[in-house]
């Protein structure tokens, strides 16, 4: 019988994606659990490619392609390197970061 230290964490759940206040995509999810060494970090995937890591339950993607549909997923990684299965996926149209000083009025 394998020890629990060899088991991967549970997959993150409840992944959501929203357009950030200043552009980009803000992801949020519910924590994973790991009965062995504990969750160390989360890997963020966009269109099946790893784009970042975080130790928190949110991540802002500021490097997508403006106007393109992107599909995101998150996995958890424990202290010994075991990676969970993928969370639920979400698909959203990427909005580039705002540039400039807000609304401009003609005088």
- pLDDT (mean) for 89-104: 72
Q: What is the pLDDT of residues 21-41, one digit of tens each?
A: 999 999 999 999 998 889 999
Contacts of 106 (CB under 8 A, 6+ apart): none
pLDDT digits (tens, 9 = 90+) for 5-21: 578 999 999 999 999 99
Question: Which pLDDT tens digit goes with each residue over 44-87?
Answer: 999 999 999 999 999 999 999 999 999 999 999 999 999 999 99
3-state secondary structure the chain: CCCHHHCCCCCCEEEEEEECECECEEEEEECCCCCCCCEEEEEEEECCEEEEEECCCEEEECCCCCCCEEEEEEEEEECCCCECCCCCCEEEECCCCCCCCCCCCCC
């Amino acid at each position: 019988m394998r020890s629990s230290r060899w088991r991967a964490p549970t997959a993150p759940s409840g992944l959501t994606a929203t357009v950030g206040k200043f552009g980009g995509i803000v992801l949020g999810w519910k924590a994973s659990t790991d009965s062995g060494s504990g969750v160390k970090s989360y890997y963020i995937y966009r269109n099946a490619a790893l784009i970042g890591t975080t130790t928190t339950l949110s991540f802002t993607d500021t490097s997508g392609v403006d106007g393109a549909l992107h599909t995101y997923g998150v996995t958890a990684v424990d202290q010994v390197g075991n990676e969970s299965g993928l969370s639920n996926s979400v698909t959203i149209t990427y909005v580039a970061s705002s540039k400039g000083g807000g609304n401009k009025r003609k005088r």
